[in-house]
Amino acid sequence: MAENKKDDIVFAPKGIGDEKDGAVQKGVDLPAPTRKKHKSLGLTEDDLKAMYEQMYLQRRFEERSMQQYQKGKFGGFLHLYIGQEAISTGTVFAFDDKDDIITGYRDHGWGLCRGLTAKEGMAELFGKATGCSKGKGGSMHFANAKEHFWGGYGIVGGHIPIGAGFAFANKYKGTGNISATFFGDGAVDQGALHESMNIAQLWKLPVLFVVENNGYSMGTAAKRHTVAEIVDRAKGYGMKSAVINGMDVFSVYEKMKEIADDVRENSEPYFIEIRTYRYRGHSMSDPQKYRTKEELEEYQKIDPILKLRDYILSNDIMTEEEITEVEDKVEEEVLEAVEFADNSPFPDDDELYDDMFADDEPYFHV
Ligand SMILES: Cc1ncc(C[n+]2csc(CCOP(=O)(O)OP(=O)(O)O)c2C)c(N)n1
Ligand SMILES: [Mg+2]
């Protein structure tokens, strides 16, 4: 049994999952991406441009927010979604606008994809009154109820039953909308998930339970914290399931569209494991001793944004100049967002107890 180094972060007993035993399988195994081209997926050239702009916005927004955090412009938690942008983008493009989406705390990309402006997002990070949650939520509480994006939750797995609740309401009220609840690999053994899966299957709720398996729960590799294949959780509930390559936006779009159609038509739940990889640490204070630089670089080689960029160029959908124009526009948008956030006021002390409870349900099922 090899001794763990003193400064190693170890969450498992010595010898269990020790790298020298070859017992740790880190990162995630990605299924093959789709071979289909955009036209056969039903995507137009304009869709591709919009997808690229959205993914690039999510990336640059977070890179800038990281820089602002390091400058001391705001504090607290900051969990970056960098590397996972194909999941939010592919899903939102595959869903109908009124389908309900709820997620954990790694939520910036989801908010931007569901209509939040960079300004509303950045101001929220800065804790300013102009933020999407009036500066009272911060990084973990991006939300845009008008666009059926219900946030950003800090308790691992705690929001999963709410996603199933949306599906119940949609079914009960006959809206024709579906819901999806996204969570990390760290949530797959939470009771909240299993209770929700049971009742969702029993009541045939139109809900997607989606794991964004990025290989790690804080500093613990998925292979060290959970037994068996994550996707196989579905079997115990007789639930349909799928594994998706989350580093490829076309694969996410294709499968999520197929699944959304199925769930909507048949009103029954689905369990999906989307495999992906996060490039940055868990939050801002993570020395990342649990993985190697080489491992990270392997996934960066198949970066979803660069891949889409290459596709757009090699299929003559846009020229290098046109892509650069989009990138410059996004850059500008993000810089303006930083300035806006910096110059915005903090919320008034008097507002502290406002917005704790909803007075009515203004946006749901409209
Ligand atoms: C119920 C609960 N337990 C523990 C925590 C502390 N915690 C915050 S994030 C996290 C890791 C979750 O990892 P994962 O679900 O894989 O999501 P990721 O960060 O990879 O997106 C933990 C254990 C928490 N927030 N809630
Ligand atoms: Mg994870």
Residues 90-108 pLDDT 10s: 999 999 999 999 999 999 9
pLDDT of the residue at 241: 98
Phi, psi of 104 (to 5 degrees): -80, -155
pLDDT of residue 362: 56
* Domain assignment present for 14: no
Q: What is the mean pLDDT of the chain?
A: 92
Among 330, 317, 246, smallest CA distance to 44 is for 317
In the predicted model, is pLDDT for residue 272 greater than 80?
A: yes
Q: How many domains does the chain have?
A: 1
Question: What pLDDT is attached to residue 288?
Answer: 92
Q: Other C-beta atoms within 10 Å of 45: how many?
A: 14
Query: What angle in degrees, to the nearest 10, is found between the helix axes of 304-314 and 320-343?
Result: 140
E-only strand ranges, the chain: 100-103, 149-152, 179-184, 207-213, 216-217, 220-221, 240-245, 270-275
Residue 7 lies in a domain: no
Per-residue pLDDT, averaged over 165-188, amounts to 97
Residue 302, in any domain of the structure: yes
Q: Given this model, what pLDDT does residue 361 score?
A: 60
Q: What percent of the chain has pLDDT over 90?
A: 85
Give the pLDDT score at 2. 40
Question: What is the mean predicted confidence (pLDDT) over 150-158?
Answer: 97
Element (H, E) at 68: helix 45-70
For residue 213, the CA-to-ligand 2 centroid distance in Å is 5
Q: What is the pLDDT of residue 212?
A: 98
Q: Are strands 179-184 and 240-245 parallel, antiparallel or unpaired?
A: unpaired
CATH number, domain containing residue 136: 3.40.50.970
92 within domain boundaries: yes
State if residue 217 touches ligand 1 by the CB under 6 angstroms criterion.
yes
pLDDT of 313 over the 60 cut: yes
The token pair that represents 360 in the structure block = 């009515």
Q: Answer whether 192's CB lies under 8 Å from 160's CB.
A: yes
With respect to residue 214, please indicate whether it lies within any of the assigned structural domains.
Answer: yes
Nearest C-alpha neighbor of 108 from the set 83, 134, 135, 78:
78
Direct distance between the N- and C-terminal alpha carbons of the chain, in angstroms, rounded to an integer: 60
Give this prediction's pTM. 0.93
**Which tens digits make up the pLDDT trace of 217-270?**
999 999 889 999 999 999 999 999 999 999 999 999 999 999 999 999 999 999
Any atom of ligand 1 within 6 Å of the Cβ of 187: yes
Closest by CA position to 303, among listed 145, 110, 82, 104: 82
The domain of 210 spans: 38-340
Statement: residue 128 has pLDDT above 70: yes
Residue 319 has pLDDT above 90, yes or no: yes
Ligand 1 test: best mutation among 84, 156, 188, 226, most atoms within 8 Å of CB? 156
Answer yes or no: is 9 within a domain: no
Position 246 scores a pLDDT of: 97
Confidence of residue 360 (pLDDT cuts 50, 70, 90): low
* Residue 82, ligand 1, Cβ within 6 A: no
Domain-located, residue 1: no
Residues with Cβ within 8 Å of 106's Cβ and at least 6 positions away in sequence, in order, are: 79, 80, 81, 84, 184, 212, 278
Nearest Cα to Cα of residue 253 among 39, 86, 83, 30: 86
Of 229, 280, 269, nearest to 85 by C-alpha is 280
What phi and psi, each to the nearest 5 degrees, are found at residue 73? -70, -25
Ligand 1 pocket member 155 (CB < 6 A): yes
Out of 218, 220, 279, 284, mutate this one to test ligand 1's pocket (max ligand atoms within 8 Å of CB): namely 218
**Who wins on pLDDT, 228 or 24?**
228
| 242 assigned to some structural domain | yes
User: For position 17, what pLDDT does the model report?
Assistant: 42
Extract the tokens encoding 216. 């790690």
Average pLDDT of the segment spanning 350-359:
84
Tell me how far apart the alpha carbons of residues 181 and 165 are, in angstroms, rounded to a whole number: 10
> If you write DSSP's letter for every residue of 123-160 in order, what string do you get?
HHHTT-TTSTTTTSS-GGG--BGGGTEEEE--STTTTH
